[in-house]
Amino acid sequence: MASSEAKSPTAYFDGEFRPLADAKVSVMTHAFLYGTATFEGIRAYWNAEQGELYALKLNEHLERLRASSKILMMDPLPEVAELRKIVVELLQRNGFREDVYVRPSVYKSTEAIGVRLHELKNSFYVIAIPFGNYIDVDNGIRCATVATRRTADLAIPARAKVVGNYVNSAFSKSEAMLNGHDEAIVLTEAGKVSEGSAENLFLLRGDTLISPGMNDDILEGITRAAVIEIARELGIKVVERSIDRSELYIGDELFLCGTGAQISPVVEVDHRSIGGGGIGPVTKRIQERYFAAVHGRVPEYSHWLTPIYGAKKGGA
Domain ranges of the chain: 10-132+305-312, 141-279
Q: What is the DSSP letter of 304?
A: G
Check 161, 173, 312, 313 and give the catalytic one: 161
Report the pLDDT value the prediction gives residue 6, as an integer from 0 to 100: 45
Compute the radius of gyration of the chain from its Cα atoms.
20
Distance between CA atoms of residues 90 and 229, nearest Å = 29
Report the pLDDT value the prediction gives residue 75, as an integer from 0 to 100: 86
Task: Confirm whether 161 is a catalytic residue.
Answer: yes
Distance between CA atoms of residues 70 and 177, nearest Å = 34
Predicted TM-score (pTM) of the model is 0.93
Distance between CA atoms of residues 16 and 165, nearest Å = 28
Helix (H) or strand (E) holding 60: helix 58-71
Report the pLDDT value the prediction gives residue 315, as an integer from 0 to 100: 42
What is the identity of the amino acid at 93? Answer: R
Which mean pLDDT values do the consecutive 10-residue runs of the chain (316 residues) have? 60 97 97 98 97 98 97 93 98 97 98 97 97 81 97 94 97 98 98 97 98 96 98 98 98 97 97 96 97 97 96 48
Contact 77, 124 (CB under 8 A): yes
Report the pLDDT value the prediction gives residue 312, as an integer from 0 to 100: 56
End-to-end alpha-carbon separation of the chain, Å? 19
Tell me the torsion sign for CA atoms 294, 299, 302, 306. positive
Domain 141-279 carries which CATH code? 3.20.10.10
- Assigned architecture for domain 10-132+305-312: 2-Layer Sandwich (3.30)
